[in-house]
Amino acid sequence: MANGPTGITNWAAIYADALKCLGSLPNGVPRKDVFRRLFCALKPGICQACFSEWIETLREAAAEAMVENRAVLAVDCKTLRRSHGRLNALKALDTVCVRASEYGLSLSRVPKPGNEITEMPEGLAQVKLKEAIVTIDAIGTQQEIAEQIIAGGGDYVRALKNNEERLKANVIEYVRQQFDNDLVDGQVTRVVMKSRGHGREETREIFQFAAPSELTSSEVWRGLATIGFVKLTTVRMGKTTEQVRYFISSLPLGVETFARAIRIHWRIENSCHWGLDVTYREGEMRARE
């Protein structure tokens, strides 16, 4: 893999004839020191901006080819587990990634020396949010993040965790009331999704409700319009397990779109993080500076 000056030099030497069509090489392939000096002279911020603009053109082309108007952008964190240094009390490097999993594109990836609250806005600022659905997992309730997504013309779908006891309890209580009243009091939509593979059968029941006024009037999440939950039933080797997860969202009622966003979110783990660790061995990286 040509991931450094030496590797690039070796690669260029192998394909020197093919590279001649891009420009003349009167002195032959540059030595590794030339590439090293070039990389040192580059401005990371400018390179990042140019790269992001190029990636966005790929995203737009992919969306057009797939006839999909609303991209789902999954936001998640990843830890480079071997990048820590005990002698210097150096924590492992974390990154915040924004990925359009349907298109196989990582649109933004920024280091996370602090926490998600401080670094996520930077990652989202590098992508176009208009008409996008941003899915977020394991992030604390943040008014700023919701405002950034809504101001950018997008929507969000946010998983609720146990560290948000009050908000999650209010959502659970409202859902229970709706079922106790046979779902006649509020607006609700439902879809069932089934899948089979890897020795298991999965059934997902996905419900989406219009959010009650006591939640929509909350200043914590701007644009909050609906809430929902997913009941996952898994059958494996004759054993049945159930799991329930709750969500808040700025999406209007329309459970197909809501369900699609939730389902696609997990592709960031399977198609991005897994590939980086297994194929590119990113988790084994020992760079500490």
Q: What is the pLDDT of residues 160-179, one digit of tens each?
A: 887 778 888 889 999 998 88
Q: Which of 172, 244, 154, 253 is nearest to 205 (CA)?
A: 244
For residue 87 the two structure tokens come to 């002698």
Is residue 59 within 8 A of residue 51, CB to CB? The reply is no
Q: Residue 191: is its pLDDT beyond 80?
A: yes
Biggest alpha carbon distance in the chain? 81
Per-residue tokens: 127: 């992508």
Whether 288 shows a pLDDT value over 80: the answer reads no
What is the per-residue pLDDT for 29? 85
CB-facing half-sphere around the CA of 23: CA atoms within 13 A: 6
Q: What is the mean pLDDT of residues 255-271?
A: 88
Which of 1.20.58, 3.30.110, 3.90.350, 3.40.50 is the CATH number of 42-284?
3.90.350
Put simply, whether the predicted model's pTM sits higher than 0.85 gets the answer: no
Where do the domains of the chain lie? 5-40, 42-284
| DSSP code, position 261 | H
Edge-first strand order for the sheet with 200-210 is 105-111, 93-100, 72-80, 133-136, 155-159, 239-249, 226-236, 200-210, 188-197
Amino acid, res. 264: I
**Which alpha helices (DSSP H) does the chain contain, by range?**
5-14, 16-19, 32-41, 44-66, 116-125, 143-151, 165-180, 213-216, 255-265, 267, 274-278
Assign residue 28 a region (left: φ > 0; alpha: ψ between -120 and 50; beta: otherwise): left
